[in-house]
Amino acid sequence: MHIPVDTTETAAFVALDAIRAAVASLTGCALVRARITYKMRVETPAMPDVGASIKRRAVFFLSTSDDGPLALVEIPGVSDSIFISDGCGAGQVVDTLNLDVAAFVAALLDLPATNPFGDEATELMSGNLQSRV
């Protein structure tokens, strides 16, 4: 269900807990988890490039502080220009020296981006093309 974006995090979880209690009598299943997500919607999106596919993604692998598990970032409909063009891995391995890639990674590190365990990303290690849904 939709919760207005200006709802505070605390209020959102209070509302979620109330829904959890209310729904308990309606189901034989036991609730094990619920999720609140924040989404941004572009009201007037630009036209995508012809042939761009949301399944065709670049996955960036970033090292994390204290040698934690890697942090992953996916870019759907990735542009061919960020992959190396010659030799082994051409068209599939992200060119980590590409200026656009470097700028994107810098923005990630500024957040800072983390892995699912909360370890902060520290450096781009590699990236490659994946077909993901």
- Specify the DSSP class assigned to residue 33: -
Interaction of residue 12 with other proteins, rule CB under 8 A: no
Contact 51, 106 (CB under 8 A): no
Q: State the binding string over 71-100 for other proteins (x if CB under 8 A, else -).
A: -x-------------xxxx--xx-------
Rounded to the nearest whole angstrom, what is the least distance from the CB of residue 10 to other proteins in the complex? 24
Q: Applying CB under 8 A, does 133 fall inside the site for other proteins?
A: yes
Q: Coil, strand, or helix at residue 133?
A: coil
> Using CB under 8 A, which residues numbered 93 to 132 contact other proteins?
93, 116-117, 125-126, 128-132
Contact 71, 113 (CB under 8 A): yes
| Nearest C-alpha neighbor of 74 from the set 38, 128, 23 | 128
34-63 positions binding other proteins, by CB under 8 A: 55-57, 59, 61
Contact residues: other proteins, CB under 8 A = 55-57, 59, 61, 69-70, 72, 86-89, 92-93, 116-117, 125-126, 128-133
